[in-house]
């Protein structure tokens, strides 16, 4: 009896074929993700050595070895082209990670343009910093105020904005002899080695600048991070005597304990409602998105070898600061936020700024030193401030020299911004204090008012 004919091997169905393709695609995608993660881990472990090429080479070597091992396990009867399938994820991952290693902007410093109405000089300070200095002389020398006014901008390591220069020119028209300098590494000032960007260096630079100016005591207007430099200068017995009067406008945290505070912000800002800022963003380029994100997370040092300091400054754009810029305006101004800088005048160093901010977080309390300060000072707080209220009230509580506080209604963190009469109102408040005249606004909050003042914002974002 003849044996039954063997059954033919069943042909794969369309569903089984689709499942197999999907499984292989998912396996390949998982391999790509694993290689990218490995690359990022190696970037952190090698501190970005060789612009990331050390991590890229090691990742590629691991990927090729793994793909070769998989290829050897393939059945001998499979076609040669099929044996190279394991290398496809290697090619994709190597292309993705290689984009992190290739600069897309010049790696040498590219200086921003100065505003057309402000000419920069360069002064070398006794600290070694070489800073860009701007002088707005009084419009009427016969009516000039005898004490020079020095402006400390925010940032911390960025250029002085065009809006700030316009406000300083307004003060000059009111008789002030205004000097402003871009802090080391910012704007048109020379870079420092990364480990020299500290809040203490910023205070020493202020001291050296006043000495280089050689006009005796000066009035100082400090805004945002510049207000932090000014506050710490008031706590330094070697620097405070050089300050005639101090205006502390919208300060950030002054020391480590203050930086760790939680609490309340001002009335709603335009951060969540303003239209996106137009223009290119470095954070959409794999190289800079990776570098800046890892720095911000604290996984990569600001002085890492992945992206050099000059390259980082060249890459960062005004659009990258879009949400931070919007947070400096009231929600009601969300659709009319002015251009603070052009693409040619904008400059910001993310790595150096993070470095300065970290030295503030790591610093001990300066409250005991501030309590011994007697320099006449004024505190300015904006209604729609994005800063924590506790940062300002901590300074108010610990600085006996603060003679008045001016709560500025209708403005955000950037109180002088060219909108409506905001510049004129800010100038009036500053002028009244520096000339020891009656304040345009109530003295609010006082030290006794701090608990009630903070309670008023308990329901705000």
Q: What does the pLDDT look like over 338-372, one tens digit per residue? A: 999 988 999 999 999 999 999 999 999 999 999 99
Of 148, 179, 185, 146, the C-alpha closest to 165 is: 179
Tell me the longest C-alpha to C-alpha distance in the chain. Answer: 129
In this prediction, residues 2-26 reach a mean pLDDT of 61
Residue 65 to residue 27: CA distance in whole angstroms: 17
pLDDT beyond 60 at 439: yes
φ, ψ dihedrals at 379, nearest 5° = -110, 130
Per-residue confidence (pLDDT) for residue 46, from 0 to 100: 93
The residue with greater pLDDT, 134 or 59, is 134
Task: Output 121-126 pairs: Cβ under 8 A, ≥24 positions apart.
Answer: 122/188, 122/189, 122/190, 123/181, 123/209, 123/212, 125/205, 125/208, 125/209, 125/212, 126/208, 126/211, 126/212
Question: Would you give the end-to-end CA distance of the chain in angstroms?
Answer: 90
Structure-block tokens of residue 46: 């090698």
How far CA 266 is from CA of 237, 250, 409, 447, in Å, comes to: 33, 11, 11, 18
φ, ψ dihedrals at 49, nearest 5° = -55, 140
Per-residue confidence (pLDDT) for residue 85, from 0 to 100: 62
Q: Containing H/E element for 355?
A: helix 350-361
- Residue pair 346/317 in contact by the 8 Å Cβ criterion: yes
Considering just the CA atoms, what is the radius of gyration of the chain in Å? 29
- Residue pair 376/400 in contact by the 8 Å Cβ criterion: no
- Residues in CB range of 15: below 8 A, 6 or more apart: none
- Residues in CB range of 219: below 8 A, 6 or more apart: 147, 148, 149, 150, 243, 244, 245, 246, 247, 434
Per-residue confidence (pLDDT) for residue 60, from 0 to 100: 85
Residue 454 to residue 389: CA distance in whole angstroms: 7
In this prediction, residues 255-261 reach a mean pLDDT of 96
- Residue pair 155/183 in contact by the 8 Å Cβ criterion: yes
Of 206, 231, 214, the C-alpha closest to 150 is: 206
Residue 313 to residue 307: CA distance in whole angstroms: 10
- Residue pair 158/186 in contact by the 8 Å Cβ criterion: yes
> For the chain, what percent of residues have pLDDT higher than 70?
89
Helix, strand, coil % over all residues of the chain, rounded to 5? 45, 10, 40
Per-residue confidence (pLDDT) for residue 76, from 0 to 100: 45
Residue 156 to residue 210: CA distance in whole angstroms: 19
Per-residue confidence (pLDDT) for residue 277, from 0 to 100: 84
Q: What are the strands, taking DSSP E only, across 385-450?
A: 402-412
pLDDT beyond 70 at 385: yes
In this prediction, residues 216-235 reach a mean pLDDT of 97
Residue 429 to residue 443: CA distance in whole angstroms: 11
Residue 146 to residue 255: CA distance in whole angstroms: 33
The per-type count for the chain, helices as H runs and strands as E runs, is: 16, 8
Query: What sign does the dihedral 451-230-438-423 (CA atoms) show?
Result: negative
Per-residue confidence (pLDDT) for residue 410, from 0 to 100: 95
Residue 156 to residue 97: CA distance in whole angstroms: 31
Confidence grade of residue 323 (pLDDT, cut at 50, 70, 90): confident
Confidence grade of residue 208 (pLDDT, cut at 50, 70, 90): very high
Residue where the block lists tokens 């160093």: 349
Structure-block tokens of residue 292: 């800046």
Residue 297 to residue 95: CA distance in whole angstroms: 25
């Amino acid at each position: 009896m003849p044996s039954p004919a063997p059954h033919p091997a069943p042909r794969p169905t369309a569903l089984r074929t689709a499942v197999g393709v999907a499984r292989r695609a998912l396996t390949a995608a998982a391999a790509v993700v694993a290689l990218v993660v490995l690359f990022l881990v190696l970037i952190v472990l090698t501190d970005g050595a060789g612009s990331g090429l050390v991590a890229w080479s090691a990742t590629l070597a691991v990927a090729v070895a793994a793909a070769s091992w998989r290829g050897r396990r393939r059945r001998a009867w499979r076609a040669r082209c099929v044996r190279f399938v394991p290398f496809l994820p290697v090619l994709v991952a190597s292309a993705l990670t290689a984009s992190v290693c290739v600069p897309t902007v010049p790696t040498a410093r590219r200086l921003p343009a100065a505003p057309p109405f402000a000419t920069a000089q360069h002064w070398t300070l006794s600290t070694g910093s070489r800073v860009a200095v701007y002088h707005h002389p009084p419009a009427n020398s016969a009516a000039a105020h005898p004490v020079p006014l020095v402006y400390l901008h925010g940032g911390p390591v960025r250029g002085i904005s065009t809006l700030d220069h316009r406000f300083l020119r307004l003060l000059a028209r009111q008789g002030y002899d205004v000097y402003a300098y871009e802090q080391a590494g910012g704007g048109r000032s020379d870079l420092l080695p990364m480990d020299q960007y500290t809040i203490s260096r910023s205070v020493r630079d202020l001291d050296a600048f006043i000495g280089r100016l050689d006009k005796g005591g000066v009035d100082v207007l400090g805004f945002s991070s510049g207000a932090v430099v000014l506050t710490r200068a008031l706590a330094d017995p070697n620097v405070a005597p050089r300050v005639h009067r101090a205006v502390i406008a919208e300060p950030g945290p002054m020391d480590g304990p203050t930086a760790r505070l939680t609490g309340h912000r001002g009335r709603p800002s335009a951060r969540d409602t303003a239209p996106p800022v137009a223009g290119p963003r470095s954070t959409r380029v794999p190289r800079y998105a990776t570098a800046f994100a890892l720095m911000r997370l604290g996984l990569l040092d600001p002085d890492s070898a992945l992206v050099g300091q000059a390259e980082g400054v060249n890459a960062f754009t005004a659009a990258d600061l879009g949400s931070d810029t919007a947070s400096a305006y009231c929600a009601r101004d969300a659709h009319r936020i002015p251009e603070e800088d052009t693409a040619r005048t904008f400059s910001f160093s993310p790595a150096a700024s993070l470095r300065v901010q970290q030295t503030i977080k790591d610093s001990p309390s300066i409250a005991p030193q501030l309590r011994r300060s007697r320099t006449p000072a004024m505190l300015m707080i904006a209604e729609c401030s994005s800063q924590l209220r506790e940062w300002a009230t901590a300074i108010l509580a610990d600085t006996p020299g603060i003679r008045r506080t001016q709560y500025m209604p209708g403005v955000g963190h950037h109180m002088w911004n060219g909108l409506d009469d905001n510049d004129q109102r800010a100038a009036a408040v500053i002028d009244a204090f520096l000339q020891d005249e009656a304040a345009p606004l109530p003295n609010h909050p006082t030290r006794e008012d701090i608990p009630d003042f903070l309670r008023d914002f308990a329901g705000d974002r």
